Amino acid sequence: MLIKFANVFFSDINLYSPEGILLASSRPRIFQEGLISNRIDRRVLDQLVINRSSLFAQTEQIGKLQYLSAYVPFYNNQNRLLAYLNLPYFSKQDDLKREISTFLVAFINIYVLFFLLGVMVTYLISNYITSPLKILAQRIGRIQLGNFNEKLEWTREDEIGKLVEEYNRMLDELTASAEKLAISERTSAWREMAQQVAHEIKNPLTPMKLSVQYLQRSWDEHVPDKEQRLNRFAESLIEQIDSLSAIASEFSYFAKMPEPTNEILDLDEVIQSSLGIYKDISSIKLRFYPSGLKKWVVADRKQLLRVINNLVNNAIQATEHQADSRIILKTESTGEKHFLEVSDNGKGINPEQEDKIFQPNFTTRSGGAGLGLAIVKGIVLAMGGEISFRSETGSGTTFQVVLPAAHPPTDNS
């Protein structure tokens, strides 16, 4: 009968006496093989007898197999306890584990799917929100003073719209400020240049005026040597006029640098050519030490000569009052760059004057226009090079010019 019901309900059925001893089973072989004891578990008996539970279920184990097992008391029509009915759910336990596993897998998949959807939606929303800010940041990063800066357009009146409005207003103010600054800089530059030109022109005019007055008085007094005085005055006047002409030429050259006629030149050969005019001057101790390798550069020959002449003349003027004056020129090359150094053993440059050396209105000589080194720097920068100096007070100064190397000329160049 138990086997019949077991087949109907798809579950094993065990029947225990009120004392807990096995009476019958739909699968007796389990008990015969000793896999399960033929006595009911003591904990079950305590629950059913002492606690009078109408139903008790617990997890039991056969080897490594765990399963649920339910116990109920079985009464007759006189309500007298006949036995305890036990239903071990072997197959149900596996189904339950499988269902739980399936549920967990499905839950995890749904959770991962929702997580990915959330990440994607968050990314899209953040891009939608931050894209205007990124555009605004890029535009702010590209703002250049004095250049045309394009305004932004934003149709919605929101927080981004307020930022765009402020950005456009800032551009208008920046443009107006740039125009005022440019006008102020041009005015200031012209004032400084006019002041410098006036100063340089005024210097020769004073001795010229005195010479004219002195000549006029001599002529009125009919001095015996008035002819000689006239000749001396003419020579002095011509010298001062030449000085004025040189000053005007310096300012004209600085105001508008001529377009260079570039060619491939040997730096050492140009230096040798420049130093040729100093060979017969015994008071100048000038030495040139080339490295021995050809140093080709792309430059305008006249402008390169001007750079060398100006640096050498500055060195000569720095050592003109010294008995042991020495001027040394050196050239070196790294393959990609060529180096020219012009050193003297003069008094050096004062530290407070070092920042002004290349300024167009700065000079340490009373008769200078203060444009020589400014012109030299402009020429060197236009050639793609660099110029710098190092100086120690009382130990001399060294100017260094760095020029990019060029390929040697070909036969058909």
Evaluate if residue 49 carries a pLDDT over 90.
no
Q: CA 307 to CA 377: how far, in whole Å?
A: 8
Q: CA 235 to CA 271: how far, in whole Å?
A: 34
Placement of tokens 């306890």 in the chain: 81
Q: What is the pLDDT of residue 70?
A: 92
Q: When comparing pLDDT for 18 and 183, which is higher?
A: 18
Q: Report the range of poorest mean pLDDT among 157-166, 237-246, 290-299, 349-358.
A: 237-246
Q: What is the pLDDT of residue 396?
A: 86
Q: Report the range of poorest mean pLDDT among 16-25, 64-73, 210-219, 359-368.
A: 359-368
Q: When comparing pLDDT for 348 and 413, which is higher?
A: 348
* 107-136 average pLDDT score: 86
Q: What is the pLDDT of residue 367?
A: 47
Residue 365 DSSP symbol: S
Ramachandran region, residue 181 (left: φ > 0; alpha: ψ -120 to 50; beta: rest): alpha
Give the CA-trace dihedral at 354, 291, 376, 178, to 10 degrees.
-70
Q: CA 318 to CA 392: how far, in whole Å?
A: 13
Best mean pLDDT range from 150-154, 187-191, 403-407: 403-407
Evaluate if residue 73 carries a pLDDT over 80.
yes
Evaluate if residue 186 carries a pLDDT over 70.
no
* 299-324 average pLDDT score: 84
Assigned token pair, 28: 């007796």
Q: What is the pLDDT of residue 118?
A: 93
Q: When comparing pLDDT for 203 and 158, which is higher?
A: 158
Q: When comparing pLDDT for 197 and 109, which is higher?
A: 109
Evaluate if residue 366 carries a pLDDT over 50.
no
* 215-232 average pLDDT score: 75
Q: How confident is the model at residue 395 (pLDDT cuts 50, 70, 90)?
A: confident
Evaluate if residue 353 carries a pLDDT over 80.
no
Q: How confident is the model at residue 364 (pLDDT cuts 50, 70, 90)?
A: low
Residues 254-288 as b or e (16 or more Cβ within 10 Å = b): beeeeebebeebbbbebbeebbeebeeeeebebeb
Q: Pick the closest to residue 92 from 72, 67, 70, 114 (CA basis).
A: 67
Q: CA 272 to CA 290: how far, in whole Å?
A: 10
Cβ pair 142, 152 in contact under 8 A: no
Q: CA 56 to CA 273: how far, in whole Å?
A: 118
Evaluate if residue 76 carries a pLDDT over 70.
yes
Q: How confident is the model at residue 413 (pLDDT cuts 50, 70, 90)?
A: very low
Mean pLDDT for the chain overall: 80
Assigned token pair, 220: 């009125």
Cβ pair 44, 53 in contact under 8 A: no
Q: What is the pLDDT of residue 240?
A: 65
Q: When comparing pLDDT for 413 and 341, which is higher?
A: 341
The pTM (predicted TM-score) of the whole model is 0.45
Q: What is the pLDDT of residue 207?
A: 63
Q: How confident is the model at residue 371 (pLDDT cuts 50, 70, 90)?
A: low
Q: What is the pLDDT of residue 282?
A: 67
CA 126 to chain centre: 26
Q: What is the pLDDT of residue 136?
A: 72
Q: What is the pLDDT of residue 61?
A: 84
Q: What is the 3-state secondary structure (H, E, C) of 130-177?
A: HHHHHHHHHHHHCCCCCCCCCCCCCCCCCHHHHHHHHHHHHHHHHHHH
Domains identified in the chain and CATH numbers: 2-96 (3.30.450.20), 159-255 (no CATH), 262-404 (3.30.565.10)
Evaluate if residue 34 carries a pLDDT over 60.
yes
Q: What is the pLDDT of residue 15?
A: 92
Q: How confident is the model at residue 228 (pLDDT cuts 50, 70, 90)?
A: confident
End-to-end CA distance of the chain: 118
Evaluate if residue 261 carries a pLDDT over 60.
yes
Q: Report the range of poorest mean pLDDT among 30-34, 279-283, 398-402.
A: 279-283
